[in-house]
Structure 1
Amino acid sequence: MPARTPSRPHPATTGGVDIGLPWWALALPTLAFIALLLLILNPSDAHAASGDPAIGHLVERVQQLLAR
């Protein structure tokens, strides 16, 4: 006599996972990423106290290479 497998009390869902994120859970990280990206692309707006000028030159060089 074969053993029977127990059946599940609730049927398995096939529609995927139902996760409801609030709107700000995606909007805030996106805004932070865009703000940091803008600061990198335009280093003259980021008023550092006394930073290393080599970093500014590196960012300007990357900007020039991307503009080509």
Structure 2
Amino acid sequence: MTVPAHPRSPGPAASRRPAAGRAEIRLPWWAVALPVVTFGALLFMIMSPGQARAATADPALGQLIERTLQLLSH
């Protein structure tokens, strides 16, 4: 059984094809929205640094990380 080389009617997909020599990139809505929301959140954090508080972690954890970095650098 053979398949025809060209379909009889172009169908709705033919009207969405880009013109010759032009590339068309289609992104989902969230591919644009996520970077915009992330940028907005980071900008908000930068603009209001007065609310930031210092971390109250145990100093032993900092020393452990520092020693680990020293061992890895040698």
Task: Give TM-score, length-normalised by structure 2.
Answer: 0.42
The higher-RCO structure (CA 8 Å, 6+ apart) is 1
Structure with the greater alpha carbon radius of gyration: 2
